[in-house]
Amino acid sequence: MRFSEFALTTLKEVPADAEIVSHKLMLRAGLIRRLASGLFTWMPLGLRVLRKVEDVVREEMDRAGALELLMPAVQPAELWQESGRWDKYGPLLLRMQDRHNRDFCFGPTHEEVITDIARRELRSYKQLPVNYYQIQTKFRDEIRPRFGIMRAREFLMKDAYSFDADEDGMRRSYERMHAAYTAIFERLGLRFRIVDADSGEIGGSRSQEFHVLADSGEDAIAYCDDDDYASNIETAATAPPGGARPAPAQELEAFPTPGVKTIQQLCELLDITPDQTVKTLIVEGDDVPVALVLRGDHELNAVKAQKLDGVASPLTMAGDAAIREAIGAGAGSLGPVGMPLRVYIDHAVTALADFTCGANEDDLHYKGVNFGRDLDEPETVDIRNVVAGDPTPGGQGTLSIARGIEVGHIFQLGSKYSDSMGATVQDENGKNRSMQMGCYGIGISRIVGAAIEQNHDDDGIIWPAPLAPFDVVLVPINMHRSDDVREAAESLYAELSDAGLDVALDDRDARPGVKFADAELIGIPHRVVIGDRGLARGEFEYRHRRDSESRDLKREEVLELLTESAVSS
Ligand code: ATP
Ligand code: MG
């Protein structure tokens, strides 16, 4: 590709609305352009990267025996009513009507459509296992689209769905996808971790996520290498603390706390630390609100809490008016003593003696609160996020926390969809049985952003070789004045292209500084500068994007180095 014909549009300025580095660099390098909230155009340069991700994913899916198909993006409501998700999926689902006022949605995922295909096409256990996949545009009306294409509304996903005759078969299909995903992320050159995960809206039993590790990641991952444990913090379990609780040393005492609304203010007033306090959060319930009680320094875990009996899902904090109506006090002065609502107490709270909490009366708190005396011995539940240093569930080590970007998610669905939609096959005895399903997603477009989060410097993107839009950029100096430079550049361009490399020839009539800056911003792995002075010595100036210095190479050496790197990537 000749840059004179490529309409590169790089930006010097950092766009104001971009929060994280990948979003900034994708805009600056001209990979994407925003159309509206969560909607982006993949510009020619960005599309080259997206296609490279697609190619790797497609190759590994094919290698794993999956069959590619392509389903419609628009789906009839009837299928979603059959599975029961039309009412359950909520505002993430973009709904629409056709000219006959029939309901449709733009697919956020394709379990319903593929189960419909399977129940029509697959009749006998002899046809199984089958794993269908597609690479296709999804739409989810995200509440907070952000980070550019990483949390977009329209995005590209690879979704696969396996069908087996029994559960053992389903587990084998799942393991195959686990292996294929591992191969994909290794080939893409990304640092990643596989973690246990919540099944969320999709449903089913077992699920695991693949996370690209990056400080800007939206997800927190709890892991312990000693114990071979890794889980999304959403599902990382905590156990009741062992050991005896200290005996009460203080009397229960109510004390005025005018203006105190937060744990921090309470701690400053009493000169105590948050882990000596208890906080009470009121969430919406199925009929009436529910109280959730945590140690002052701990964070509520929404995924765990919304599974509790009587708690509304998705978890929703109760409003001020509802809290006042139910309890007669504002959110800043609540506590478990005399709480008129159903109360769930987190495991960690039971270890506390002489703690401080709100008194369910405005501007009033209690100190010296003790279980078994001021309130009943609690039955506790797990509703908090784990923190670094917590014991692992196996008990062999302690947890560390890292941040990750979810790029893949695999599920064992079982018969959730095949039961509700009647997707059966005949077994060996001629009896009809629901097929056992798995589903497997990869965020193709999100991978592009995640790769940049992990691979960049002050000058721009540093693509892992398999993702780079071009393998090498040739930068001729004064090509428009020097025939020698032009001839050397053109012949190298032709030879490298013939060798199968994606070569960019920066033949724009621009200053070398501009060309170098663009090459670095775009993140092309190899750069070869061609100038009169070097040519006189029979040399080219070579630099890898990760190197700080360039070095002089003979033409043969350039060819050898680049064709070798093409073979190894
Ligand atoms: P998240 O927790 O990030 O919202 P999810 O768990 O809802 O994602 P899945 O249903 O597991 O997503 O979808 C499969 C994959 O699609 C995800 O692992 C992710 O890589 C990608 N993906 C999901 N939502 C988006 C989005 N809004 N923008 C870009 N990619 C997305
Ligand atoms: Mg997921």
Question: From CA 252, how far away is CA 267, in angstroms rounded?
Answer: 17
Q: Structure tokens of 118?
A: 């399977």
Each residue's pLDDT tens digit, 126-166: 999 999 999 999 999 999 999 999 999 999 999 999 999 99
**Strands ordered across the beta sheet of 94-97:** 74-76, 103-106, 94-97
Q: Is the CB of 443 under 6 A from ligand 1?
A: yes
How many residues are recorded in the chain?
Answer: 569
Q: Residues 482-494: what's their mean pLDDT?
A: 96
| For helices 167-187 and 44-63, angle between their N-to-C axes, nearest 10 degrees | 140
Q: What is the pLDDT of residue 242?
A: 84
Q: Which helix (H) or strand (E) covers residue 321, if one does?
A: helix 320-327
Q: What is the pLDDT of residue 368?
A: 96
Q: CB 268: neighbour CB atoms within 10 A?
A: 11
From residue 505, give the alpha-carbon distance in Å to each of 4, 486, 529: 8, 11, 10
Each residue's pLDDT tens digit, 339-363: 999 999 999 999 999 999 999 999 9
Half-sphere exposure of 337 (CA within 13 A, CB side): 25
Burial group, residue 189, by CB count within 10 angstroms (0-12, 13-18, 19+): middle
Ligand nearest to the CA of 139: 1
Each residue's pLDDT tens digit, 106-115: 999 999 999 9
Q: What is the pLDDT of residue 17?
A: 84
pLDDT class of 394 with cuts at 50, 70, 90: confident
Q: Residues 545-562: what's their mean pLDDT?
A: 96
Judge whether residue 204 has pLDDT over 70.
Answer: no
User: Does residue 388 contact residue 400 with C-beta atoms inside 8 Å?
Assistant: yes
pLDDT class of 477 with cuts at 50, 70, 90: very high
- What percent of the chain stands above pLDDT 90? 92
Q: Is the CB of 159 under 6 A from ligand 1?
A: no
pLDDT class of 289 with cuts at 50, 70, 90: very high
Q: What is the pLDDT of residue 567?
A: 64
Q: Whose CA is nearest to atom 11 of ligand 1?
A: 409
Judge whether residue 93 has pLDDT over 80.
Answer: yes
Q: Is the CB of 140 under 6 A from ligand 1?
A: yes
Q: CB 348: neighbour CB atoms within 10 A?
A: 23
pLDDT class of 198 with cuts at 50, 70, 90: confident
Q: Which range among 10-19, 80-89, 201-210, 467-476 shows the weakest confidence by mean pLDDT?
A: 201-210
Each residue's pLDDT tens digit, 226-253: 888 999 999 999 989 888 999 999 999 9
Atom of ligand 1 nearest to the CA of 200: 6
pLDDT class of 35 with cuts at 50, 70, 90: very high
Q: Whose CA is nearest to atom 18 of ligand 1?
A: 408
Q: What is the pLDDT of residue 43?
A: 97
Judge whether residue 569 has pLDDT over 60.
Answer: no
Question: From CA 462, how far away is CA 453, in angstroms rounded?
Answer: 10
Instruction: Identify which of 55, 67, 109 has the alpha carbon closest to the alpha carbon of residue 447.
Output: 55
pLDDT class of 290 with cuts at 50, 70, 90: very high
Q: Whose CA is nearest to atom 19 of ligand 1?
A: 443
End-to-end CA distance of the chain: 20
Q: Is the CB of 409 under 6 A from ligand 1?
A: yes
- If you average pLDDT over every residue of the chain, what do you get? 95
Instruction: Tell me how far the alpha carbon of residue 202 lies from the centroid of ligand 2, in angstroms.
Output: 9
Protein residues within 5 Å, CB atom, of ion ligand 2: 409
Half-sphere exposure of 271 (CA within 13 A, CB side): 0
Atom of ligand 1 nearest to the CA of 210: 18
Burial group, residue 98, by CB count within 10 angstroms (0-12, 13-18, 19+): exposed
Q: Is the CB of 148 under 6 A from ligand 1?
A: no
Q: What is the pLDDT of residue 158?
A: 98
Q: Whose CA is nearest to atom 31 of ligand 1?
A: 443
Instruction: Identify which of 79, 134, 88 has the alpha carbon closest to the alpha carbon of residue 440.
Output: 134
